[in-house]
Structure 1
Amino acid sequence: MAGNSDPLTPRAKLAVTAGKAVAAASRAAGRGSGSVIGGKVALRLDPDLLARLAQNLDVILVSATNGKTTTTRLIAEALRAAGPVVSNALGANMPAGITSALAGGSEAKFGVIEVDEKYLAGVARDTDPKCIALLNLSRDQLDRAAETRMLAENWREGLAGSKAVVIANCDDPLVVWAASSSPNVVWVAAGQMWKDDAWSCPSCGGVMQRPGDDWYCGECGFRRPTPTWALSGDHVLDPHGSAWPIHLQLPGRANKANAASSAAVAAVFGVPPQVALERMYQVQAVAGRYDVVQFQNRDLRLLLAKNPAGWLETFSLIDPPPAPVILSVNARGADGTDTSWLWDVDYTRLTGHPIFVLGDRKLDLAVRLEVAGQHFQVCENLDQAVQLCPPGRIEVIANYTAFQDLRRRVGN
């Protein structure tokens, strides 16, 4: 267990101390958590620091386009049944943020780490993970994320021959293609609501056949593997065929799927499904997502949706019409500057809801809603939108930086 022997060289200790000092200064200046800048400074002083910090931990990596922050939190909660956990719970998921998180967990047994899809192969190389959870791959940040098949190829090459147990969603053909190079894969039937990135076979480019919940390529025979774990309604089915009830405060089918994958990860480390799923009930919100806050004497539920797959899942969560809905979209660096993905989202699902639009790219969104035949009002800010909303709990859906703006405004 970590803490018994000190893996850190004097240089590494200096790097950790300097990183923490810079992070504290950044927080004091009101520039956020400081974890990224602190990690960058630490890695500049010791480029091998991430590998050194990981070497006494049982590392679990979680990567996906959607759901990685929540799943990381659920796995961390479940594994606390087996020992202390260090995790990048705030979602700083590139090497600097991960280094910063691990530097704070000298007594931990487990490191549960969310990893940006583009960095998975490199972080896996540095941290020698015991387990890697792969949930889904879909289009995201069109201006800079490689086409999804290229990401899958990158994962496939990076994970080839990995000693890690790979927990992979067998319902996503891109994830299956990526994970198939690993010698030790546990398949989970976690479902796939958004299918528009998986119509062609990642192996040969042929057309994917999708009878019912199954899928296969009619040309090369690449097909859905048989799962040993599965999400079935409100239960997780384990490899022995036992059904365990999912206890979550987080809403929606997507989070049940995240819980199923998390239970499979916990089992790798000897935590039984019943214990893992009961512990997941502790999670009420994840970095502000799903929080219900009071603002101007109204209840607002804050929902994050960063890409078409995320918006589709989020629409399935919201209260039925005529619940008012506020939509906010930015296109800053962290969001991706290309908003053409708005055209991939089916906004007809909002029919019957009063809709209020804000954010840096509110006019892009307004054009998209106009084409979708929706009734909406463009607003200058959250205060104005809330004042215009009819009665009922307000569902607020925003992409990444718009979500952070809203949290600051409501004091969350």
Structure 2
Amino acid sequence: MAGNSDPLTPRAKLAVTAGRAVAAASRAAGRGSGSVIGGKVALKLDPDLLARLAQNLDCVLVSATNGKTTTTRLIAEALRAAGPVVSNALGANMPAGITSALAGGSDAKFGVIEVDEKYLAGVARDTDPKCIALLNLSRDQLDRAAETRMLAENWREGLAGTKAVIVANCDDPLVVWAASSSPNVIWVAAGQMWKDDAWSCPACGGVMQRPGDDWFCGECGFRRPTPSWALSGDHVLDPHGSAWPIHLQLPGRANKANAASSAAVAAVFGVPPQVALERMYQVQAVAGRYDVVQFMERDLRLLLAKNPAGWLETFSLIDPPPAPVILSVNARSADGTDTSWLWDVDYTRLTGHPIFVIGDRKLDLAVRLEVANQHFQVCDSLDEAVQMCPPGRIEVIANYTAFQDLRRRVGN
């Protein structure tokens, strides 16, 4: 533990040791990182372990539908300017995975923790964070995720009166509604490309008015707060009006927005924007996302998109036509088994690209592309799709388990 001023109880130490042993056995058996099963065992032995591990850390929690893993990584890089960091960098973002990650950070000063949206309130209670970053809320995993308004309500109730500084995106009405119950909020104008989950007012159900970049409810007066931080082109504007250049190796507007929120979080911990943003340049890929890998004499860029908002952002950063695009969609339990969300994605944005379709639910996606008047080819495997593409770069977009399948196939 940081400073070791409050060492773990014997029971907690036993729980950590047992969790590590189980995780190691899981890795040895080729069943992934073992962080989740290790954390589950540790929490069984000491249900208060997460709180004990967090007690000497200055924690920041990061939650959102999209961008959690990347933003967590950017914040962790920025805070390393001020001391050692422990983080669940691989995205195991439920209590077991978080516990596992913190158990490995005995000398850390800061805990930078990605949290699944449904678990945010509980993890906040356990970890007593100094800061919580709320980025966006949109539809995801339709068969099991709460309706987005309910999720915002859960955040609002769970974070009411929290001591944590909330860093929240003022361009997402659902996030604003969730954060507004907290006494200390720093608003960031990070933008919102996907608006289809925020046309009705979360406060009263009235119709949201959206002139330009502004928004307000014409019925109850709920409106966009004034930001103190903002993304402006390739710069972050801080509360003093200074503009700091964003230098990222990660592509796209969404990642600039993630960097703006990360800079605001870093400032809460005393790391100045210039230092924070310079450190973020180190991040080239996040758990395989944005990696360019050589495979069958082509360059494949691996892009993760799990829901309509994520696909919309991803389409905005792919190479222009005629760059070939391979799309892979699964519907396993980790993805959500309901693929009706495909109908919410505007696939006409791929017009002009040669499209190749793979994955467990390739036929669901084929029907959707047919209706969108896209030219595509259904393939049985990644290898077959790649062989049909000319030499050069291929954009590969996949949802969650399809992305993991791709990484295994290309040895990433």
How would you bin the TM-score normalised by the shorter chain? over 0.9
User: Which digits, 9 at most, give the CA deviation of each residue in 1:229-266, with x for residues without a partner?
Assistant: 00000000000000000010000000000000000000
* TM superposition score normalised by structure 2: 0.99
Quote the offset at 1:389 in angstroms.
Answer: 1.1
User: Residue 7 of structure 1 contacts residue 53 of structure 1 at CA under 8 Å; is this kept in 2?
Assistant: no
Name the CA distance, whole Å, in 2 between partners of 1:17 and 1:5: 20
3-state SS, counterpart of residue 395 of structure 1: strand
Query: CA RMSD, aligned part only?
Result: 0.6
| CA deviations over 1:153-195 (Å, ceiling 9, x no partner) | 0000000000000000000000000000000000000000000
TM-score normalized by the length of structure 1: 0.99
Q: Is the 8 A contact 2:201 2:217 kept in 1?
A: yes
Asked if the contact 2:334/2:401 (under 8 Å) is kept, the reply is yes
CA contact (8 A) 1:23 1:33 kept: yes
CA contact (8 A) 2:120 2:155 kept: yes
Q: 1:330-350 deviations in whole A, cap 9, x for unaligned?
A: 000100000000000000000
In the aligned structure 1, how far is the partner of 2:283 from the partner of 2:167? 22
Contact 2:64 2:137 survives alignment (8 Å)? yes
Q: Which residue in 2 is equivalent to 1:26?
A: 26
* Equivalent-residue separation in structure 1 for 2:92 and 2:55 (angstroms): 20
Whether contact under 8 Å (2:51, 2:127) holds in the other structure is yes
Shift, 1:6, TM fit: 3.7
1:203 maps to what in 2? 203
Distance 1:81 1:37 in 2: 32
- 1:23, CA displacement in angstroms? 0.3
Identity between Structure 1 and Structure 2 (%): 95
Contact 1:324–1:355 (8 Å) recurs in 2 = yes
Deviation at 1:3, TM superposition (A): 3.0
- Give yes or no for contact 2:297–2:391 (8 Å, CA) kept in 1: no
Q: Tell me the number of residue pairs that the alignment of Structure 1 and Structure 2 aligns.
A: 412
Q: Deviations over 1:123-168 (max 9, x none)?
A: 0011000000000000000000000000000000000000000000
Helix, strand or coil at the partner of 1:230: strand
Rounded to whole Å, the distance in 1 between the matches of 2:382 and 2:168 is: 39
Q: Does the Cα contact within 8 Å between 1:190 and 1:257 map onto a contact in 2?
A: yes
Quote how far apart the aligned CAs of 1:367 are: 0.2
Structure 1 residue 7 displacement after superposition = 3.1
Q: Once the 2 structures are TM-superposed, how far is the Cα of residue 5 of structure 1 from its aligned partner?
A: 1.8
1: CA distance between counterparts of 2:390 and 2:323? 8
SS at match of 1:222: coil
Q: CA deviation at 1:392?
A: 3.0
**In the alignment, which residue of structure 2 is the partner of 1:179?**
179
Q: 1:374 and 1:320 mapped to 2: Cα distance?
A: 16
Conserved? CA contact 1:3–1:106, under 8 Å: no
Q: In structure 1, what is the equivalent of residue 167 of structure 2?
A: 167
- 1:400 & 1:356 partners in 2: Cα distance? 18
**1:188-208 Cα distance to aligned partner (Å, 9 max, x none):** 000000000000000000000
1: CA distance, partners of 2:4 / 2:94:
28
Unaligned runs of 5+ in 1: none
Offset at residue 2 of structure 1 (A): 1.2
Higher deviation after alignment, 398-407 or 2-11: 2-11
| Cα distance in 2 between the residues matched to 1:354 and 1:125 | 49
Give the C-alpha shift of residue 391 in structure 1.
3.5
In the other structure, the counterpart of 1:14 is: 14
Correspondence for 2:361: 361
Alignment partners' CA distance in 2, 1:262 and 1:391: 37
1:53 and 2:29 correspond: no
How much does 1:4 deviate?
3.0
Q: Is the Cα contact below 8 Å between 1:324 and 1:392 reproduced in 2?
A: no
**How do residues 97-116 of structure 1 correspond to structure 2 at under 5 angstroms?**
97-116=97-116
The match for 1:267 is 267
Any residues of structure 2 matched to 1:139-288 within 5 Å, and which?
Answer: 139-288=139-288
Is the Cα contact below 8 Å between 1:170 and 1:227 reproduced in 2?
yes
Query: Given that residues 7 and 56 in structure 1 are in contact (C-alpha distance below 8 angstroms), is that contact kept between their aligned partners in structure 2?
Result: no
Deviation readout 1:201-228 (Å, 9 max, x if unpaired): 0000000000000000000000000000
On the 8 A contact 2:323/2:354 being kept in 1, the answer is yes
Contact 1:7 1:55 (C-alpha < 8 Å) held by counterparts: no
**2:18/2:42 contact within 8 Å kept:** yes
